[in-house]
Amino acid sequence: MVFPRTLEPTALARAAQLPVVAILGPRQAGKSTLCARVFGDKPIVSLESLEARERARNDPVGFLARFTDGAVIDEAQRAPDLFSEL
């Protein structure tokens, strides 16, 4: 069963206006599901993956440069230096 996400239109509108959109909330609230539905055309990178997390931590600029058309970065708090580069 697919539940409609009331924030879908807001997320799309903000993404059209801003270069970066952060979706925050408690654990297991549906943030990743929302991002996959709204931004499913973008690569989805989870920093739960040790390999991805290490790349993001060791070279935040290079990590972000790979996504010229945008990306969903799940668990971004695991590489805090990314926020300085965004």
**Does some domain include residue 60?**
yes
How far apart are the C-alpha atoms of 32 and 44, rounded to whole Å?
9
- At residue 5, the pLDDT reads 72
The answer to whether residue 1 is domain-embedded is no
How many domains, the chain? 1
**Spatial contact of 55 and 78, defined as CB atoms under 8 Å apart:** no
Q: Is residue 23 part of a domain?
A: yes
2 in a domain, yes or no?
no
Residue range(s) defining the domain that contains residue 33: 8-85
Question: Is position 42 within any domain?
Answer: yes
Provide the pLDDT for residue 6: 85
At 16-55, the pLDDT tens digits run 999 999 999 999 888 999 999 999 999 999 999 999 999 9
